[in-house]
Amino acid sequence: MDGMIVMAVLVGLAMIGGLATLFVALVLPSFRGAGGGWKRLAERHRAAAPPDGREFPGETVRVGAVNYKNCITVRVCPAGLYLAPGSNPFVRRLAPLLIPWSEIRSSHPTRLFWKSAHVLTVGDTGTVTVFDEVMKAAKGHLESRT
C-alpha cells in the first residue's frame, strides 16, 4: 500500500513538472513578444529614440494575438505610431517600435477588453490593435497620406 502512495505522488509530481514545462515553453514566449509578432515588427520598425508626440502611457494594445494590458507607452507623432514597453518585467525587454504611417495598410473596428478599438494592418508584418482614443489622435496622420 505504501508503494502505491509513493508511486501516485511521483506520477503527480511528474504531471505537475510536465505542465510547468509546457507553460514555460508555450505561454511565456508570448508575453515576451515572440508569439505575437512584436519581434517581427521590431526587425523592420525598431525605434532609435522616443519621438515627440501625443503620449498615451500605460496603454493596452494587442500585437498579433498577444495582449499587452496597461503596460505600453503609445505616442502618435508625425513620423508614425510609437510603441514602447513600460516597466512591467514581462515587457520591459521588448524593443520600442516606430511604425511609419505609410506602413499601415488598413484599419477596421473591433473590440478589445469590451472597449472600441481598431486593428491596424502593418505592411505584411502583422497587426496592432489600439483603442479608439489613439485612433482619433492618429486620424489626421492616416488621412494625410492618402
Position 146 scores a pLDDT of 47
pTM: 0.75
Interval 3-48: pLDDT, tens? 778 777 777 777 787 666 655 544 554 444 455 799 999 999 999 9
103 and 120 Cβ atoms separated by less than 8 Å: no
Domain residue spans in the chain? 32-144
* Cell 517581427, residue located: 40
Give how far Cα 79 sits from Cα of 16, 53, 134, Å. 49, 9, 15
Helices (H) and strands (E) in the chain, counts: 4, 7
What's 62's DSSP letter? E
Interval 98-122: pLDDT, tens? 999 999 999 999 999 999 999 999 9
CA distance 34 to 133: 27
For the domain covering 32-144, report its CATH number.
Answer: 2.30.29.30
How many Cβ atoms from other residues are within 10 Å of residue 52's Cβ?
A: 10
